[in-house]
Amino acid sequence: MRKCLAVGLLSIALAFPVDVPGDAAETPPPIPIPTIGRYEVHGSFPHDPQAFTQGLVFRDGSLYESTGLYGESTLRRVDPATGTVLQSVSIPDRYFGEGITILGRKIYLLTWREGACLVYDGASLEKVGESNYDGEGWGLTDDGNDLILSDGTDVLRMIDPATFRVTRRIHVRENGAPVGNLNELEYIRGEIWAVVWMNDRILRIDPESGNVTGSATLGDLFPVGKRPSERAALNGIAYDRDRDRIFVTGKLWPMVFEFGMR
């Protein structure tokens, strides 16, 4: 059952340069200051509070979720309205599951330190392949052609899904400074959205320049004082393209929140 929130709108700070009127000799140059973007919070839904969420994707009416930890990692399909797990497969114990994305009929699932991307059939959740990459795997999304991988640094890698070769690197900068700890990713309206690990921040990134065009701190959705442990950080973004909805959750969070973009 959908549970409506008491709050109707969540204000999210987006960093953009603002023109300063008047004589340039008497006024300071324009600097980035917060402006307010309005996002409508439609409601919240149950979420498995034992799920150590690593990746989240919305496709064909279902949420697809990857969970982490050695010996506990899973890939699952979930009913977004009830939180019921409709399908689930265990990831081999030697892997720590990380981010996922769905491209075509395949689900791509990263592993943390094993350098393996596990490939699953989108309908049956049966493993159909495996590819390798250098370094760690954190978050994963796609732009409809290439995979986009984060590894905990300030660099995102564009990867050809057929060959798994890196086609381009995106250096992420916020006000000119590199932004590290980029984790869970989602491609939304031509932008890359990225969770900053253990920070409860979401960044909006221009995929061409790598510049951060906006940010949001969403920790108040599930306040730190109510969380079961310090590991229970924001770490899940999914986008419903058909209805223009965004779903957000975190590791060990008991709910998923739904936003409408305005």
Write the pLDDT tens digit of every residue in 125-138: 999 999 999 999 99
Q: What pLDDT digit, counting tens, does each position of 216-249 carry?
A: 888 888 899 999 999 999 999 999 999 989 999 9
Amino acid 42 reads H
CA-CA distance, 68 to 44, in Å (whole number)? 23
Read off the pTM. 0.85
Q: Tell me the domains of the chain and their CATH numbers.
A: 9-20+31-261 (2.130.10.10)
Tokens 């899940």 label which residue?
236
Q: DSSP character for 141?
A: E
Confidence of residue 33 (pLDDT cuts 50, 70, 90): very low
For 11-20, the pLDDT digits (tens) are 333 332 333 3
Residues whose CB falls within 8 Å of the CB of residue 141, separated by 6 or more in sequence, listed in order: 99, 101, 147, 148, 185, 186, 187, 192
* CA distances from residue 91 to 67, 94, 102, 117 in whole angstroms, order as listed: 9, 8, 17, 12
Q: Is 120 helix (H, G, I), strand (E, B) or coil?
A: strand
DSSP 93: T
AA identity, residue 155: V
